[in-house]
Amino acid sequence: MPQTAVLELTNLKKTIKGKEIVKGVNLTLYPSQIFGFLGPNGAGKTTTIRMIVGLIKPTEGSVTICGYSVAHDFVKALSNVGCIIESPDMYKYLTGMENLLQFAAMNKTVSQQRIKDVVEMVGLQHRVNDKVSTYSLGMRQRLGIAQAILARPKLLILDEPTNGLDPAGMTEFRNLIRKLAYEDGMSVFVSSHLLLEIQQMCDMVSIIKQGRVIKTANVQDILHDDWIEWQLNDPEQAIAILRNHWNIEALQLKKNTIRACLSQHPLDKINDQFIREGLALTYCSAKQNTLEDLFLDLTEGDEIV
Amino acid sequence: MKLFSLIENEVIKMISKKRLMFVLAILVVLISVFAYGQKQTLERTKAQLSQRMGITATDDWRKLADQQLIDMKNRLESPYRDEKDKSSLLVRMEQLQYNLDHNLNPLEQSAAKFSTKFMEQAIFLFLPLLIIMLAADMVSGESSSGTIKLLLVRNVPRWKILLSKYLTLIILEVIVLFFAFVLSVIISGFFFGFGGWFAPIATGFKVLAGKLDTSSVFNVPQWQYSLMVYSLAYFVAVVVGSISFMISILVKSTAASIGIIMSTLVAGNFISFFLTDWKITRYMFMVNLRLTDYLSGSFQPIEGMTMLFSITVLLGWTIASVIISFVYFTKQDILV
Amino acid sequence: MFKKSMWYSIITIALVCFIVLSIGFYQAIMVTSKVSAQPSAKAQVPQVSEDSAKPSSKNATSFKILIMGDSIAKGTGDEKSKGFSSYLSEYFKNNTSKEILVDNVGIDGLGSLGLQEQLDSRRLDKTILDSDMILVSIGGNDLRSILSLNNLTKEDEFKVRLDNYLNNLKQTIKDLRTANPNSIVIFLGLYNPYEKATSVEDTRLLNTWNYDTQQLVEEDGKWIFIPTYDLMKYNLGRYIAKDGLHPNSAGYQALSNRISKSVEAIISNLSTQ
């Protein structure tokens, strides 16, 4: 694509206390995209996000935001970011407005008018002068978003943003995110373990499992693509063939089963080649996927909520 | 100028958290109790004096002072007097003369005397306690509530965030000292009157060869003495503040860091009692906190311990704490 | 906004106070660490020379008195700042034609041990040798602190103190005698300045103290113990200074009078020799 990436993760790795939690994540996020980061609990989502915003230093690899490296150009890189990491912890002993003023003071580009606008945008105008300790979870979530978008960031990072929201709140939240992305041109990076949320909100999705990104694709493509499943005697060789000759990333599901999304590639020619290369095909079928099927398959039934 | 806004943020948080108010409230209570106690002691002393000597200290003190003055003059003129006493005699005479000239009973308290004495007593335990309550919460409070994440994902480098917190602490320490002074003057003023700022106070004690040397003693006006006491107290506050600041960064829990540094301080008091022979104890910060004792000459002379020594030791601890704080804070991974 | 104005006042107070405190801190360091002009070292020199330069002539034209011991010996409490030094010479004038010279080496707060140390330093040897008469007042500071103890420990502590005191005094008598075998030594007994606030028990202790002292002192033929207790007992108001402890001018005069009466004969004797 011609546009410059808003966020680029290159081979990002993190080892904490001898345990490798993130094992080489590569991601690219473009302007006005809503990017879902899907994975079960403990897959490394939060660790990855913390590395993006510089709370954790990567063991290996790099994070680049709008062309600035987080490691070397922290201030410039972070100037383009607004975020909520896990729960939206605010200063409970301050009012909502005082909280926002705190963050506004840290960024000179924020005007009084902007604060007012943002408060209205998240619908907090009636309670903004109350102490945060009196807020419900949903209101804290809104305040969290307000502080994240205060400085009009190019990249909005939301870690599990809909935790604790009721269904009405979720819809409202989704609309707000879409508005920010499509009208204000923000790129949004949303992590979640909730499929439905990602499916409804995002354009692109990356699925992470045990510290590794196992699939990155357009949500619509994933949902509507034809997936082909093969049973054959040598899955490694088949994956190699698909990658080398057809530029297709295939996945090994079970012992003898692989699956791939063919897009426009002709299935018959692929099968021909398999046979030419001496593979024994026992079974081949086309599948219409939902994201959930895919997710369940990919994560081998790891519990998702 | 961003640093200024950051400090403003921190101060406003401190005000809103009510912790500063809490500290000031403790000050008010303690000073009142202390002043009341002083008044009781004073009255008891007077009663004792009048019982023992058959005089009432309130009206006969001038004659007593006159006579003491003459005695001291004689002593000064005696060829057999110990030369070392000379300056302390002169200083005593100057003080008595001042009392006589200004009709000030030397037994009487004044706001000036009280506020100074209060800080001299508070400097090694009570003042550090107040400072710890402020300092221990500054970083670990944000860690335990998770708000530290909000601060560190801004377009502000970490060291600047920490520096703003540290400078805020330095400012709040001034405020605590300021209020300790103002409150003790106001409260004790109601008990003892607001005067006494120009009375001469002896200082300039030294340790020579492990013994208290009074040969260079001289008088300074009370206000200057108070200023020096409060300045030293402020220095102690900065030292204790820096150390608690570091501990709160390392421990990340407010309660734990208050516990750690409080027990260290109390242990320090034990150490200075029991382990005076052990040379290494004098390099501990807790043993060096009683800086005002060097001014008043009331310290236990220990070989090698002087004002400069103590200040150097404390400064060493402070610098080390600040360096450790900054290095650790800028390198650490935030996992909360 | 309330918090905003609070912030401004805090930062203003902080800045001003910080500057003031910095100045105070600088002063505090200067006050306690600047190198003194060392008056003590300077002053010690003349003191030594003073002692050695003293004329050692024990000529026939002067009568020398040495007064040593505690604050009473020194004359503390006399509002005219005369003490024994002046009054004794005044009284003695009648008994001798010689010029009366007085040396007073009394030190405030001196105890029996301190007196012994003073003698041990040998600085006074020459003065002692030259004196015709020596007045010693000691023991008050040894005894005084006991009286404030409670009754249980008082008795034991008293015995310990008394023993120590008597030992010191024994040594003092010996040393004085060695330094000058001929002079008369007048020893002042103790009185009770707190007559109003004293129990029977305390009086008994004081009497024991005086009695034992007298016994010891008068083992030496040329020592004389002069009691003060009786003189002061009903005259505290007249004879005690405002500090409630030392004699005042009238008190010193009364005591000097008594001393002079006791040694009149000896002095006339000595003078005519």
Residue of B nearest to C247 (CA): B67
Gap from B164 CA to chain A (nearest CA, Å): 12
Report for B198-202, C11-15, C104-108: range of highest mean pLDDT? C11-15
Q: How confident is the model at residue A298 (pLDDT cuts 50, 70, 90)?
A: low
Phi, psi of A179 (to 5 degrees): -60, -45
Residues A118-128: pLDDT tens digits?
999 888 889 99
The pLDDT of residue B209 is 63
Phi, psi of A184 (to 5 degrees): -95, -5
Which residues from chain B sit within 8 angstroms of residue C197, using beta carbons? 51-52
Token pair for residue A57?
Answer: 């230093």
| Chain-chain contact of B9 with A90 (C-beta, under 8 angstroms) | no
Sign, CA torsion B284/B286/B291/B293: negative
Task: Give the C-alpha separation, B48 to A180, whole Å.
Answer: 82
Q: How confident is the model at residue A62 (pLDDT cuts 50, 70, 90)?
A: very high
Which residues from chain B sit within 8 angstroms of residue A16, using beta carbons? 333, 335
Could you tell me the pTM of the whole model?
0.74
| Chain-chain contact of B295 with C20 (C-beta, under 8 angstroms) | no
- Examine the pLDDT at C132 and tell me if it is beyond 80: yes
The pLDDT of residue A305 is 35
Chains that touch C (3 or more CB pairs under 8 A): B
Q: Which of the pair, C167 or C201, is modelled with greater confidence?
A: C167
How are beta strands A212-218 and A204-209 bridged, if at all? Answer: antiparallel
Gap from A175 CA to chain B (nearest CA, Å): 24
Token pair for residue B242?
Answer: 């820096």
Task: Give the C-alpha separation, A176 to A178, whole Å.
Answer: 5
CB-nearest to B156 from A93, A94, A106 is A106
Of A223-227, B14-18, C36-40, C250-254, give the lowest mean pLDDT range: C36-40
B37 touches chain A (CB under 8 A): no
Q: How many residues does chain B have?
A: 336
Q: Work out the number of other CB atoms within 10 angstroms of the CB of residue B239.
A: 25
Q: Are A37 and A191 in contact (CB under 8 A)?
A: yes
Interface test with C, best of B4, B58, B83 (most C CBs within 10 A): B83
CB-nearest to C31 from B11, B204, B306 is B204
Task: Give the C-alpha separation, A30 to A186, whole Å.
Answer: 10
Residues C10-64: pLDDT tens digits?
999 999 999 999 999 998 888 887 654 444 333 333 333 334 333 444 556 788 8
Which residues from chain B sit within 8 angstroms of residue A55, using beta carbons? 149, 152-153, 333-334
Which residues from chain A sit within 8 angstroms of residue B16, using beta carbons? 91, 93-94, 98
- Examine the pLDDT at A288 and tell me if it is beyond 60: yes
Task: Give the C-alpha separation, A170 to A172, whole Å.
Answer: 5
The pLDDT of residue A3 is 62
Which residues from chain A sit within 8 angstroms of residue B331, using beta carbons? 57
Token pair for residue B35?
Answer: 């002043």
**CA-CA distances (angstroms) from residue C210 to B267, C111, C161, C187, C223?**
49, 15, 13, 11, 15
Phi, psi of B249 (to 5 degrees): -75, -40
Which residues from chain A sit within 8 angstroms of residue B12, using beta carbons? 94, 98, 102
Amino acid present at A263? S
Angle at B263 between CA B260 and CA B269, to 5 degrees: 145
Specify burial of residue A124 (Cβ count, 10 A radius: 0-12, 13-18, 19+): buried
Of B82, B74, B213, B86, the closest CA to residue C118 belongs to: B82
The pLDDT of residue C2 is 80
The pLDDT of residue C55 is 40
Q: What is the mean pLDDT of residues B130-154?
A: 89
The interface pTM score, or ipTM, of the predicted complex is: 0.84
How are beta strands A226-232 and A257-261 bridged, if at all? Answer: antiparallel
Element (H, E) at B9: helix B2-17
Chain-centroid distance of CA B126 in Å reads 9
Helix B85-101, helix B57-77: angle, nearest 10:
140
How are beta strands A187-192 and A34-38 bridged, if at all? Answer: parallel
Which residues from chain C sit within 8 angstroms of residue B291, using beta carbons? 28
Gap from B335 CA to chain C (nearest CA, Å): 32
Q: Which of the pair, A195 or B132, is modelled with greater confidence?
A: B132
- Chain A neighbours among B 148-187 (CB < 8 Å)? 149-150, 152-157
The pLDDT of residue C36 is 46
- Rounded to a whole number, what is the distance in angstroms from the first to the last CA of chain A? 35
Contacts of B129 (CB under 8 A, 6+ apart): B262, B265
Looking at chain C, the whole-number percentage of residues with pLDDT higher than 70 is 85
Task: Give the C-alpha separation, A65 to C8, whole Å.
Answer: 37
- Chain B neighbours among A 134-193 (CB < 8 Å)? 147
Interface test with A, best of B142, B147, B155 (most A CBs within 10 A): B155
